[in-house]
Structures are given as structure tokens and as C-alpha cells.
Amino acid sequence: MRISPDGTILIYSKGPEIGQGIKTAFPLIIAEELDADWTQVHVQQAAINPVVYGRQSAGGSRSIPASWDQLRTAGAAARSMLIAAAAREWRVPVEQCQAEKSIVIHPGSGRQLSYGALAEKAATLPVPDEKSLRLKERKDYKLLGTRVSGVDNRAIVTGQPLFGIDQVLPNMRYAIFEKCPAVGGKVKSANLDEIKKLPGILDAFVIQGTGKVNEVMPGVAIIANSTWAAFSAKRALKITWDETAASTDSWSDWIAQAQELSRKEGSTSLLSTGDFNKAAADAKFVEGYYRYPFVAHAPLEPQNCTAWFHDGVIELWAPTQTPEAGLAAVAGVLGMPQEKVVVHQVRAGGGFGRRLINDFMCEAAAIARQVGTPIKLTWTREDDQLHDFYRVGGFHAFKGAIDKSGKLVGWSDHFITFTADGQQPTSGGDLRPDEFPAQLLPHVHLTQTMLSLKTPTGPWRAPRSCSIAFAIQSFIHECAIVAGRDHLEFLLEIFGEPRWLKEGDPYALNTARAAAVIKLAAKQAGWGKALPKGRGLGLAFHFSHAGHFAQVAEVSVDANKKLRVHKVTVAGDIGPIINLSGAENQVEGCVIDGFSTALGLELDIKNGRIQQTNFDSYPLLRIAHAPEVAVHFIQSDYTPTGVGEPAFPPVAPAICNAIYNATGHRVRSLPLSGEGFNV
């Protein structure tokens, strides 16, 4: 931070802003401990320098928990130095002084000095030892937990150039990069001479790349004097691909294989406790087979990067979630030392995990080195759909055992997933042995079978949880119905006595916190209230990314399967809230994104090619169909976590369970449109 004599406080926000509100939240944490007047605070995006700032990435809802203590300590240290400077000025003990809204006060004499007046002297003092600092308790917060407008909001709504796609440099050229639609294909030939003759085209050439999908795959680059000219030439490009090593993946083939495999035991054991077969023999037996598809990230801003290779240095302006990783990747691709790579962090128009992978940075760098002038690489929507790192699909063959008292005592899941290397599940395609409710039941049998794939997968908003929650929470509801029990009562019973499964581990389930959010969501939604025919409430819970969330969806379905989600009530515990406005916004976004994904989003893969290449065939939810979202937080004193991910997983199962309660139709396959539902 920097405090000027006029009282202005400049705070550098170190993390990538991808719409999750970090550019506002990070400075708020500092300002709270600084006892700053927020009206005097100005925020700038920090330079990318992990040596100075530490972790500079956004993913896994880790930004807040990873930086919480660091940022609080920074604010408290600066406050301590300002108070010490005032105490020296007045020649009084430090203990007699206090800070409030950018002013140091000596209550005994009534004297006051502004931070601006103290800044120069405070800067000469030693930074205090962290152990000597007193950090605030939650009850003393004045900024944290309130609603604060995003620091970029005015610039966004007035169209200021904040985003990667807005970047402009002198003498900049415009680039596109065409790759094989089936991953692994190489360029055999292309009509480059024809392309070079088109209006506005400056050059066209083949790039062999590194052959790594997260760096630079083989393709053709076109350089133009405008984006329009580049896109027009792209449509005229004719490439013959060598697909000897290209993907031939097929979603329909996988569906058939999984259906057959589901009738058998999994090839690998993930967890076996108690005796599931014996428990099932003595109990009511429930079976359910669930499926969810591959989906794309589809951020509204497609991948892009501006790059300039000059004087032995490569500069990049990149909307990335992992700028330090991007810096290292570019250095590796170009064979340059990392100190010769400069990354300028710009705001990203959506990430959801897609921008954790920096292939677009590597491509821009490779093109810029060959061109010699600044270039801006822009992907088309079709590029973004065809060359994503997708959320992986999956299949679950569940079995449940319910004892004579109606309690769930046995749980079996044959999980059918995918592998890229034949050894481990692909990114986002693993099932952890401690996934709820396995760690809370006496008889558990989890197995896994992996199908081979070449299609790239990657982190997708609440990786793993974003899809697994649909299957698990829907099947728990199935078990409750077979048991003849109220779903709320049945679900709460699974958690048992209040306890933290791994004391002190924020990424371990806390059954007391789980039960509290479930009860709160149910209460606020009016669980048990009388509803007309064709209308129902559905409940779901999920724990992920250190966040405990429960949701109740209220839906109606008519005779033509027209679905309306009227309201989703959300209750969450993520520790102390940093910015209530930002947290509510993230939860609302999770609900809308979750409904959109569950309703109509799926990717069909044929011969290694994604079939849904634009929003006409990949329909995002429209505003007219967005439900009312009511958000309720339990503000606890646990270490805070992010909220951009953990509020997503319960959405689909809450809606699907509500559909069952309204109609008796059990949804076991997503998207809902595939089962005839429409809006």
C-alpha cells in the first residue's frame, strides 16, 4: 500500500480478478486492519511478482484463505507504524493512541493526526514483528461483512478498457490461430498463399508448436490489420490435417460402455468399510444409475492475449487466472529465462477454471516472436468451444441399504470415469474416498473403472463436486423416498453427532456446520409447507472447497414438462464474510450457472470433435428464466474461504429433487432437456 500526504491510500490488489470480486475483497481486508477510511482508498492491480506478493492466482476458491493472514498482517503492520509515528510526534506512549477511519487519535488530549500527515514519518519506522501485532476479532469489524460496491463497477458499466480483449498497443497486429478440431492432429498442408492475398492479411504461417495441449499445439497463424480481416481469412482457410495421432473419442460409445460396465464390479477399490453385502441383505435395497455429460466453460470473453516480443523481452497482457504459471510456461515454450518474461495482469471476462491453463498465452508468445510487432490473439467462440479443457462426464451405479428403522446404513458406488494416462483419473474426474456420505456410514463400498480418452479436461467451477453432487444428493433423496422418510430428517440423520471429522482441517467436513446450513435453508424456504399440484420443494447439501452449503429449490412443472424454477433458497457457512455484496453476487451467480448447466448444457463428442460450437447449440440460461435467489450466511469464526465455487454443487440436485417431489419423475441423467424438460 502507499499513503500519500493528501490522505489518499493506494492499495495494490495482488490477485487476478475474474469476476469473483477479489480486486475489492483483498483491499477490504487490508483496509479493515488498517482502520482506513474506505472513501479515501484507491485500488490498482498489482504487478505480477510472486517474490514480492506471494501467491498470485485465482482458483479453487483459495484466494481468500491463502491470503487472509498475509493481508490482515499487512494492514495491521501499517496501522501500527502510523500509530507509532503519532505517538512519537506527541511524545506519548503508543498504548495511549488509537486509530479510526484514517486518523490517529490521542483520547487523553483530544489531539488527532491524519494518516496523510503521518505517512512520511511512519515510512521511516521499522516494520513491526508480526507476532507483536494485534489482529481484530470479527465483532470489531467495521468494513468486513458490509456491502461494498466493486472497485471496477463504474469502469465496467461505462465501457472502460479493463479486459484482455480491450488491450491496444501502438502498431499492434491482430492474430488468429487455427488448430485441428480433433486434439492431436497436425498440419499436413494449408492454402497459405491464397490466404496471404486476402484483404487486410499481412502474413500466414504454420506453427508446429510443442505438441502439448496446455502449451502450443500444431496450427496455422494468420496476421491481419484488423480482427475482422483475421476472422474472415480464418473462414477461408483450408487445412488438410494429419490425424494419425488425433482423438477419436465418442460420447455415444462411452455411454454404451458405461452401461455395460455398470452391471459389474469396479476394477479398482477406492474404499471398503464394514460389510455392504451383509447390510444390504438385511435391509431395504435401493439402486440408481446416474449420468452427467461433458460441458464447456464458455466464459463470455473468449481466450485472448496481447503479446509483444522486443529487445529480447516478451511482454504479455493476459486475462489469466494463474499469471505466475503463465510466465513460467511462456519462458519454457520460448526457451527464455523467466526474468525476460513480463506479464501484465488484466481483468478476465469469466474464468470458471478455464483460465488456469495458459495455452492462449503460449500461443500468443509463439506468434509474437515470429511477427516482431505487438499482436493480439483472439479466439472465436467456436475456438473456445472446440479447444477447451472440459468438465469431464461420468457415471455412477449406486446401491443403498436402509435398515428396519429407515436409516441409511449402507452405500455403494461403482464410479465410471475417464483417464488420459491409463493411471489416474483425468482432471476433475476423481472420486475421493472421503466424499460425503461415505465417511459417515458404517458399510461403504466404493469402486472405480476408468475409460480411456484424449479429449482435454480441466478444473471447472467446483471441480469434481460440480457434477458428483448431482448424483450423490439425488440418490440420497431416492433412498429417503424408499425409506418413507422426510428428506430433511433423513439427511440430517446421516451427519450424526456434531463433530469436525479432521480437527483443524478447513477442508474436512464439519457435521455441525453442515446441519446448521441445512436447517437454515429449510426454515427460510418453508420446508413442509403445502404446495399445489405440480409444484415441489427439493433439498440438497454439499461440502466443497471448505464451504458448507445447502439449498432448497421451489419448482413447478406442467403437463408439457415446462419447468419453472421459482426460487432457490441458499444457506452457507464460509466463515466471516469479506464483502457481503460480492458474496451474495457469487452465490446468485452459482445458482444461475448451476441451473443453466443442469437445464440444457452438454457436449456431444464424435470422432474426437466437439459438436456444440456456439450458443445456438449450447444454450446458456436467459434472464427471463432466472429464479429468485435468497442468500443466507452463517457468519462463523472459522478461517474464511472463497464462495465462487462451493455454492454451485447443490443447485442441480436441489432442482432435480424438487422435480421429483412435484411430478414423481426421477432425474438420473443431465441435462434436463435430454429428459424432455423445457423452459
- Please give the helix or strand (H or E) that residue 449 lies within, else none: strand 443-452
Do strands 394-402 and 535-544 pair parallel, antiparallel, or not at all (unpaired)? unpaired
Strand partners, 42: 10
> C-alpha angle with apex 32: 29 to 35, nearest 5 degrees?
150
Please tell me whether residue 74 adopts helix, strand or coil conformation.
helix
Q: How far apart are CA 491 and CA 650, in angstroms?
A: 13
For 490, the grid coordinates are 433423513
Neighbours of 112 (CB within 10 A): 13
Neighbours of 128 (CB within 10 A): 16
For 664, the grid coordinates are 414423481
Q: How far apart are CA 562 and CA 679, in angstroms?
A: 5
CA dist 381 to 136, 378, 387, 597, 630, Å?
47, 10, 10, 18, 33
Q: How far apart are CA 418 and CA 507, in angstroms?
A: 25
Peptide bond into 442 cis (omega under 30): no
Q: Which residue, chain included where needed, has cell 436402509?
A: 402
CB 678 within 8 A of CB 98: no
Q: What angle in degrees, to the nearest 10, is found between the helix axes of 465-483 and 487-495?
A: 110
Strand partners, 550: 541, 571
Do strands 375-378 and 173-179 pair parallel, antiparallel, or not at all (unpaired)? parallel
Of the candidates 133, 121, 46, which has an alpha carbon nearest to the alpha carbon of residue 89?
Answer: 121
3-state secondary structure 225-279: CCHHHHHHHHHHCCEEEECCCCCCCCHHHHHHHHHHHCCCCCCEEEEEECCHHHH
For 490-562, strand residue ranges (E) read 535-544, 547-557
Of the candidates 25, 29, 263, 224, which has an alpha carbon nearest to the alpha carbon of residue 142?
Answer: 29
Burial 569-604 (b: 16+ CB within 10 A, else e): bbbbbbbbbbbbbbbbbbbbbbbbbbbbbbbbbbbe
**What are the residues whose beta carbons fall under 8 Å from the beta carbon of 256, sequence distance 6 or more?**
none
Residues 249-297: tens digit of each pLDDT = 999 999 999 999 999 999 999 999 999 999 999 899 999 999 999 999 9
Residues 244-253: tens digit of each pLDDT = 999 999 999 9
pLDDT at position 275 is 97
pLDDT at position 610 is 98
CA dist 441 to 87, 271, 273, 489, 493, Å?
60, 12, 9, 16, 11
pLDDT at position 304 is 98
CB 501 within 8 A of CB 513: no
Of the candidates 349, 428, 305, which has an alpha carbon nearest to the alpha carbon of residue 17?
Answer: 349
Radius of gyration of the chain (CA): 27
Residues 535-557: tens digit of each pLDDT = 999 999 999 999 999 999 999 99
pLDDT at position 69 is 96
All domains in the chain, ordered by first residue: 2-157 (3.30.365.10), 164-245+303-378 (3.30.365.10), 262-295+390-675 (3.30.365.10)
CB 675 within 8 A of CB 667: yes
Neighbours of 4 (CB within 10 A): 14
Please tell me whether residue 117 adopts helix, strand or coil conformation.
helix
pLDDT at position 148 is 98
pLDDT at position 387 is 98
pTM of the model: 0.97
Q: 410, exposed or middle or buried, with CB in 10 Å at 0-12, 13-18, 19+?
A: buried
Mean pLDDT by 10 residues, the chain (679 residues): 97 97 98 98 96 94 96 98 98 97 97 98 96 96 98 96 97 98 98 98 98 98 98 98 98 98 96 96 96 98 98 98 97 97 97 98 98 97 98 98 98 98 97 96 98 98 98 98 98 97 95 98 98 98 98 98 98 98 98 98 98 98 97 96 97 98 98 97
Q: How far apart are CA 612 and CA 304, in angstroms?
A: 21
**What are the residues whose beta carbons fall under 8 Å from the beta carbon of 573, sequence distance 6 or more?**
513, 516, 517, 547, 548, 549, 633, 634, 636, 638
Question: Longest Cα pair distance anywhere in the chain, in angstroms?
Answer: 83
pLDDT at position 648 is 98
> What percent of the chain is modeled with pLDDT above 70?
100
